[in-house]
């Protein structure tokens, strides 16, 4: 999932006269990075990186199935996923779990707790996870002094609200799956990876849970998408054969 761990090589950012790894050899401030990518087309701000590097704590590893935090625990800060993938869950009325979403490398975990002192949901590692953690107070202070970072955080919050609204929409099973696959595609594209060939870090049963459908229903719908030549599935590997057709099905603009 793509963010460099400690000891990454000192590659120069295009257009920048500095090396991120030279600024902090053991730091994960390499693109994609939610903390520095206020403008993905511009070189990261070296002053911002200098500010952030002394505030970020490296946390992990958390292995598959381990809790990163539990609902109701005190919030220690906002985290960026350096590597691995995380599912965010709450307990349902039957004692099971309801999956609210998934967090991939370069994305922030814990923004939904920004207004409270305790986590409103639990976070569980889907595979081995390493995190960068920054206290909310420190992040808020830096964001006040770096408007691009503040806008970036607002944009990330807005994106999460938009995804929640799509999930709540009353649409067919195939449309929900198309939306999910296109969202994953967009997230891989933002990381500089292929938007049409990618690996899903979660099980199909977890996808079904997240999309509020039975596992058998999700499997049948995925099979129909495959039979129609829209996608190809091999275990967790996905190939979007006709992304435009998926977008039309989901009323999604390709490139979102």
- Whether residues 120 and 29 fall in one domain: yes
Closest by CA to 233, choosing from 122, 225, 192, is 225
- Whether residues 73 and 134 fall in one domain: yes
- Count of structural domains, the chain: 2
- Whether residues 204 and 106 fall in one domain: no
Instruction: Give 131-175 as a DSSP string.
Output: EEEE-HHHHHHHHHH-HHHHHHHHHHHHHHHHHHHHHHS---HHH
- Whether residues 58 and 107 fall in one domain: yes
Residue predicted with more confidence, 147 or 70: 70
Measured in whole angstroms, how far is the alpha carbon of residue 122 from the centre of its chain? 15
* Distance between start and end Cα atoms, the chain: 20
Given this model, what pLDDT does residue 1 score? Answer: 33
Q: What digits encode the pLDDT tens for the residues 181-201?
A: 999 999 999 888 999 999 999
Closest by CA to 61, choosing from 129, 107, 122, is 129
Domain endpoint, select from 160, 192, 210 = 160
Question: 60: alpha, beta or left, given left = phi > 0 and alpha = psi -120 to 50?
Answer: left
Q: What digits encode the pLDDT tens for the residues 203-214?
A: 999 999 999 999
Given this model, what pLDDT does residue 44 score? Answer: 66
Beta-sheet strands, E only, within 41-163: 57-62, 67-69, 78-83, 86-91, 97-103, 108-109, 122-125, 129-134
Answering whether pTM is above 0.75, one says yes
What's the whole-number mean pLDDT along residues 50-58?
Answer: 82
- Whether residues 156 and 195 fall in one domain: no
Angle, CA 70 vertex, CA 101 and CA 163 arms, to 5°: 15
The rounded percent of the chain whose pLDDT value lies above 90 is 42
Please say if the pLDDT value at position 159 is more than 70.
Answer: yes
4 within domain boundaries:
no
74 within domain boundaries:
yes
Spatial contact of 79 and 112, defined as CB atoms under 8 Å apart: no
Structural domain range at position 177: 169-250
- Find the range with the poorest average confidence among 166-170, 172-176, 226-230: 166-170
Given this model, what pLDDT does residue 41 score? Answer: 57
Q: What's the whole-number average pLDDT of the chain?
A: 79
- Find the range with the poorest average confidence among 41-45, 50-54, 65-69, 197-201: 41-45
- Find the range with the poorest average confidence among 36-40, 46-50, 150-154: 36-40
Given this model, what pLDDT does residue 53 score? Answer: 78
Domain endpoint, select from 120, 140, 160 = 160
What's the whole-number mean pLDDT along residues 119-135?
Answer: 93
Angle, CA 199 vertex, CA 69 and CA 245 arms, to 5°: 115
256 within domain boundaries:
no
CA neighbours within 13 Å on the CB side: how many for 74?
Answer: 2
15 within domain boundaries:
no
What's the whole-number mean pLDDT along residues 132-148?
Answer: 84
């Amino acid at each position: 999932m793509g963010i460099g761990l400690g000891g990454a090589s000192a590659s120069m950012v295009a257009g920048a006269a500095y090396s991120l790894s030279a600024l902090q050899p053991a730091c994960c401030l390499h693109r994609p990075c939610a903390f520095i990518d206020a403008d993905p087309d511009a070189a990261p701000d070296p002053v911002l990186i200098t500010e952030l590097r002394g505030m970020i704590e490296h946390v992990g590893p958390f292995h598959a199935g381990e809790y990163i935090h539990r609902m109701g625990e005190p919030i220690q800060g906002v985290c960026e996923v350096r590597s691995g993938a995380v599912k965010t869950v709450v307990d349902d009325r039957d004692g099971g779990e309801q999956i609210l979403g998934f967090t991939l490398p370069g994305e922030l975990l814990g923004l939904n707790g920004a207004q409270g002192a305790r986590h409103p949901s639990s976070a569980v590692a889907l595979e081995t996870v390493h995190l960068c953690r920054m206290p909310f107070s420190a992040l808020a202070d830096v964001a006040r002094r770096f408007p691009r970072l503040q806008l970036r955080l607002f944009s990330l919050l807005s994106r999460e609200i938009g995804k929640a609204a799509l999930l709540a929409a009353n649409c067919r099973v195939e449309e929900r799956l198309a939306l999910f696959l296109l969202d994953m595609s967009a997230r891989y594209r933002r990381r500089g990876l292929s938007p049409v060939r990618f690996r899903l870090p979660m099980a199909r049963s977890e996808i079904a849970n997240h999309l509020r459908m039975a596992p058998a229903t999700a499997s049948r719908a995925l099979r129909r998408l495959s039979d129609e030549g829209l996608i190809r599935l091999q275990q967790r590997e996905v190939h979007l054969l006709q992304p435009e057709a998926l977008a039309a099905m989901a009323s999604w603009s390709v490139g979102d």
